[in-house]
Chains A and B, each alone.
Chain A
């Protein structure tokens, strides 16, 4: 399929653009066409096969011809009129632009005209706007406008008049817009849900519920048949992974296989749905939709980069699934919990759905775009974001609709709120410490509030004091960038964002003919060089009585101003005078202040005035401050955030949206560029989903109304989209294959009637997701075998007719996603920690993967390598790549190996291979497998023995303990937990919070802070024999009191000991008999004082009477490694192989 690329013709900086859905560079027909080109381009898009089919239908049903016209008339039109319209009119009144609401590219459009009425009256060449305009002598009125070229020639005007007199003949054609509308009207996903008639399938065998009727009917149509039911083993593995993301245990498998009750399978599904593991599995599917992350993405250094409320949201999602919260309520709370359930602390967490998006360095346009996208694609399956710069290329989403939703979010404020009710629930701790923590939080919040208040008073005053400058800055607005960069502005400078705020405020003032600012706005139209000459004229219009002007302002303009500067100065002194009046009026008397003075006061003091920095959190206001103040406020905010993050017992916080105090109109940003504002748009829901009855939202931002419209059962998308997602996660692919795009570019559902049937049932079940699971999983379709049909002929037939298994003639074998694979490893080794909820945890820890900290800025490579959902944007589905990097992880990373070791440690050696198969694969090995495994164990042994370098490294370990001189031994040995690439130590920072200065490098190290924390380099003898130890101990500092050093054998006690400072000592043992597993420890402590205790000491141990032919040397410096792992035993090697096998990775 080849077709042309359609580029967006936008020149603004903001968003990407839309091309046809093709392989990356397969379409070469038109090199670089832009949308601003002719309409044929759009037509070309429709010329791909999908649209072609649709189009034919559409054309066939198109309305009857608009007028029957003689061939000659049409020729006249084509020769004289159409080129004229195309060349001189349609650039501004065509497909792309409709100035004054007028289009001149179809007869209908010309007839209906624009803002000022019909353009022509067919048959009457004296009347009509079109002729009036082209004939006008007034250059300001005449069309086409002077800047586009010469007026129309006399003969062209005459041609037009003639054409109109002929009755405006226009060849019969369905206008493009009509064709589009037709497509839209017919598009499947915009249709209301249809009650589906259950298909009758001749043979009832193999039909377990309604789903199967739909599936079997289609299969029969194609001459195919379903594969039979999978084995019980397969069923329990499949269902357990599907619902809980974990493998079934050996006992669960056996119990199910041997369960003879007739409803064993139903019971299995019920048990799994009741498991708390279910919410963790399906919660994670939702977190993909919600582009979940625990961090904000890149932020400047002044701002805490972690969210305080992410884990609360994640836990709320998990819990909502476990409770089977009705999906409509689930969605409603995520969009508007502040209004749906204002008193319910738990529900507030839901709004993380909106507030956990990337922060885009505080750029509100991008933050809002992200919210529109997550709502659009996530909930509605509509790519609304495509309409940011231009009308959607394919779907009925005009740019105006995008900005209608933009208006909703632009009138909302992020608020961090405390949820005291949750503290006791989440942490069972002594109330005393909880109280302390809460108190600590309160103190920090108070500090933040008072600092903010002081800063506001201060900054507001600075704005008012410089009103003249802020007004004059409007005349060179281009110098103040809309998207601010961090410019370190001082208190004495104009703040660019405040200049821009004034700009927006004055735009609004102009729209509502504000009595105070009307003169400024009128004068602001004059350029500097014409000001003096034209200001009197402006004055005259201003005061002609048509617009109410504030009395005080009017008085100030009794004298014609000579320059913009004078105008600004007058405003400045008006303010100062008004301020004085206000301040000098006692509060009780302020009610008596005259209306005109009150207006002035409001202009400068009311909420929404550009002189009043909104009383909102710094995250909403950061661009309004000078640099020093901004940093100070962020610091105070960070103290709050960090307190919350560091003390799990502190009151949990949610970040919710609230509607703004003052609602502001939204404007279309032409080409997505906020600097070029277009028409005002009301806040309202999408046209395509509202039909004729659409009306602007009436309450506040309209967010609640939007949310209700989204979950309205009459909305054909929301429930369908969710049902399809659930289906997708059960079958690997949705009935609709583009789960987040149900628009015109989506594929038809494979089973449209089934989708509607399931969706209707879903809604009538009270939007119960668990009921939906039950319906799907109890079907014979779901229970099918994933193997191909048994006979070759059936296989070939199925392959030929439905190679992608869209008709579901078998079950799809599915590869585990990263989380399920990781969790399954931990589950198999018995190490999985099932603690639920709380702050994010370590990737290599033992908790379930859903609790791993997701840092969208520094997403661990491992996660991206394993196709984890991109946390920057809503993810409809995971990629599935197979790469060597994945293999390297499975082969070499300690995480997998540690699981293998643990599994082996749990085995009973006598029947190791059988047990291993049971544990890892949940089955006995076949005879052949048993033989291969046993043989491997024999040959692998040899492989282990020929190892050298790794074995030497494995003889060393690195830890700490306390020397017991009296007993001649080390009291304990604990391994150091952290390796930083060149040293073992307590943590990534040195000193570590708990283990202090403890450190070992290849050549030396540093003891811990006290004698209980002596640093220990340990050598473990691999076998009996005699060794020599050579070592030199160096301490190089004169500061402090030096160190104590010991060489200690676990069997023979202290071999050497010495205290030293600022000198070099030979510490060697000529010959030492050792037994296998005896340890020799090289121990250093601080002596008395922690001061300059670093040392160099790197021993070499060599065999003296080797059993083998060659002597072996263990050279501490050379053998030093971050991973002093033991070589895997043959059984461990076998275990690792089974763990990474396809049988573990693919669910049948």
Chain B
């Protein structure tokens, strides 16, 4: 990392690597190029650079989009039907577990489940549109977390550790794969109206270099300068900046003696790259140009817009996109779950279905991994009669695309949906699986820090091979 001992003469390849920005120079900027071609063009890629890098083996997924239902969506109202709850309605369950708060009797789901697709996957009416893609979805019903508190569970789900500050999944993927389009941030977290709980820690780079952290976009805004920090100058036009950068380059060239210090050259290039990033970013966030039927597909809502932007980002080579439901924790349904979950699901069902359809029609679903879930699930027993408390003993996450076997369920919770009992899966298992789909052996994707080699899955994690095609 610290490369203060610069060599006198640098090969072009080395120069590109050390700059961490190289691709733009080669005229490939802004195009969705083949990763392997890029790797060939730019050398093997230093571990800290942002250029596209090879994975351990050919990954099925090249990019990831993660719908994060922050607050903890209820599994028994969405993808894990539990008819037994009817029988115990209002009654204490034979087996109950300690959660954050006191809970009461069983609360049957007020929503109808139905079998969808050829696979007959059972999905609740809340996600009826998403259900049209049932045959692409693998539902993991046996997820577990460690504690029933939001913050540690968010950290676990996003960064692989409940307590210790660690890099987020997106940062690890950036570290491992780099990103294809150097004119855009490679890892983007979008959330309308402000930050989710735990804020930027959810997409932190931790001990990985800062360039791997997620870039946050508040999708309540539409103007580019409100979307990305420092993307626009309020005091110079692009013409002015063009002039300035030409001047900068000119002054550097008359001043610098040969031989060149590669770091200085890289720095000047980073200005030119930033300049190009300004226009590319403006373009990608401007959805005006999308055809009418696409607008209709996603819906003209903040979530529709956010999801459509996500598709545009993925299409342009952004590596990892996280779509948060909203500021705070909108899926934290402690009371009146029937009304609240209907509202929240209603906001994202259409955009999710739209994204799946849109990716498919662009032939991108096959190598785009779509993830759906929260930091934990909710209790099948009621809190205060109409709500559900946090539940880390068993919950649902589903994945689609990018090498995921569609139309299957994996693992199971008990008769009531309280606790995972079959193929019990940890968040580390999920992370191992995600990395596997991206072409990484999660045990070998390591980063040396503080005398140790760290990995996303620490000393845990088993790939869920049954949900991989």
Contact = CB atoms under 8 A, between A and B. Distances in A.
A binds B: yes
Interface of A: 5, 7-13, 15-21, 23-25, 27-28, 31-32, 297-298, 300, 358, 360-361, 363, 366, 373, 377, 383, 385-386, 483, 485-488, 490, 732-733, 740-741, 743, 745, 787-788, 795, 798-799, 803-806, 812-815, 856-859, 861, 864-868, 870, 872-874, 877-894, 897, 926, 928-929, 932-933, 936, 939-940, 943-944, 946-947, 950, 953, 981, 1121-1128, 1133-1134, 1136-1138, 1140-1143, 1145-1146
Given A883-B21, A932-B247, A1133-B244, A1142 B267 contact: yes
Contact of B226 (A28, A815, A877, A981): A981
Contacts of A20: 453
Given A383-B452, A815-B263, A870 B211 contact: no
In the complex, the 3 A-B pairs of residues with the closest C-beta atoms, listed nearest first = A383-B451, A485-B147, A732-B4
Contacts of B239: 943, 946-947
Contact of B5 (A486, A812, A1136): A812
B254 interface: yes
Contacts of A857: 199, 201
Given A358-B165, A803-B7, A870-B207, A487 B445 contact: no
Contacts of B266: 882
Interface stretch (B115-123, B269-277, B318-326, B401-409): B269-277
A687 to B, nearest CB: 18
A223 to B, nearest CB: 17
Contacts of B6: 812-813
A858 B195 CA distance: 11
B264 A1142 contact: yes
A24 B311 CA distance: 30
Interface stretch (B332-340, B344-352, B436-444): B436-444
A745 B240 contact: no
B362 interface: no
A886 B50 CA distance: 14
Contacts of A1146: 261, 263-264
B149 interface: yes
B243 interface: yes
Interface string B192-227: 000000111100011101110100101001000110
Contacts of B100: 485-488
Nearest to A884: B274
A233 to B, nearest CB: 14
Interface of B: 1-9, 18-21, 47-48, 50, 55-56, 98-102, 146-149, 151-152, 155, 163-165, 175-176, 182, 185, 198-201, 205-207, 209-211, 213, 216, 218, 221, 225-226, 229-237, 239-241, 243-244, 247-248, 250-252, 254-257, 259, 261, 263-264, 266-268, 270-271, 273-275, 277-278, 440-441, 443-455, 458-460
A8 to B, nearest CB: 6
A27 B451 CA distance: 18
Contacts of A740: 450-451
A874 B263 contact: no
A1122 B255 CA distance: 38
A896 to B, nearest CB: 10
Most buried by B among A383, A857, A878: A857
Contact of B7 (A732, A804, A953, A1134): A804
B334 to A, nearest CB: 12
A858 B261 contact: no
A881 B230 CA distance: 18
B11 to A, nearest CB: 12
Contacts of A486: 100, 147, 149
B274 A887 contact: yes
A524 B458 CA distance: 36
Nearest to A8: B459
Given A24-B444, A386-B452, A882-B19, A861 B213 contact: yes
Contact of B230 (A12, A15, A889): A889
A357 to B, nearest CB: 11
Contacts of B55: 25
Contact of B257 (A787, A933, A944, A1128): A787
A811 to B, nearest CB: 11
17 contacts: A5-B446, A9-B459, A11-B459, A11-B460, A25-B444, A31-B444, A298-B198, A385-B452, A487-B99, A864-B213, A874-B450, A881-B48, A882-B21, A883-B211, A887-B274, A891-B241, A936-B243
Contacts of A9: 459
Contacts of A887: 267, 270-271, 273-275
Given A24-B445, A944-B240, 4 more contacts: A25-B441, A857-B199, A883-B210, A1146-B264
B55 to A, nearest CB: 8
A23 to B, nearest CB: 6
Contacts of A1141: 248, 251-252
Nearest to A18: B452
B164 A360 contact: yes
Contacts of A926: 254-255
A880 B452 contact: no
Given A485-B148, A888-B277, A732 B5 contact: yes
Given A361-B152, A813-B261, A867-B209, A31 B441 contact: yes
Contacts of B440: 25
B9 to A, nearest CB: 7
B4 A812 contact: yes
A866 B210 contact: yes
A483 B162 CA distance: 11
Contacts of A947: 237, 239-240
Contacts of B102: 488, 490
Nearest to B185: A885
Nearest to A743: B451
Contact of A881 (B163, B209, B256): B209
Given A32-B441, A880-B2, A873 B163 contact: no
Contact of A865 (B151, B163, B211, B446): B211
Contact of B20 (A386, A882, A891): A882
Given A486-B149, A881-B210, A891-B233, A16 B453 contact: yes
A788 B164 contact: no
Contacts of B201: 298, 857-858
Contacts of B230: 885, 888-889, 891-893
A1053 B98 CA distance: 72
B1 A17 contact: no
Given A799-B9, A1146-B264, A891 B237 contact: no
Contact of B2 (A859, A879, A888): A879
Nearest to B24: A884
B1 A880 contact: yes
A361 B56 CA distance: 36
B274 A799 contact: no
B2 A861 contact: no
Contacts of B453: 5, 16-21
B261 to A, nearest CB: 6
A884 B5 CA distance: 22
Contacts of A883: 20-21, 50, 210-211, 270
Given A486-B149, A926-B254, A1140 B271 contact: yes
A877 B6 CA distance: 17
Contact of A795 (B8, B98, B147, B454): B8
Given A27-B444, A298-B201, A950-B237, A892 B231 contact: yes
Contacts of A732: 2, 4-5
A936 B247 contact: yes
A891 B254 contact: no
Contact of B207 (A487, A873, A943): A873
Given A880-B1, A932-B250, A1146-B261, A888 B451 contact: no
A31 B440 CA distance: 12
B343 to A, nearest CB: 24
Nearest to A35: B459
A366 B7 CA distance: 41
A23 B21 CA distance: 19
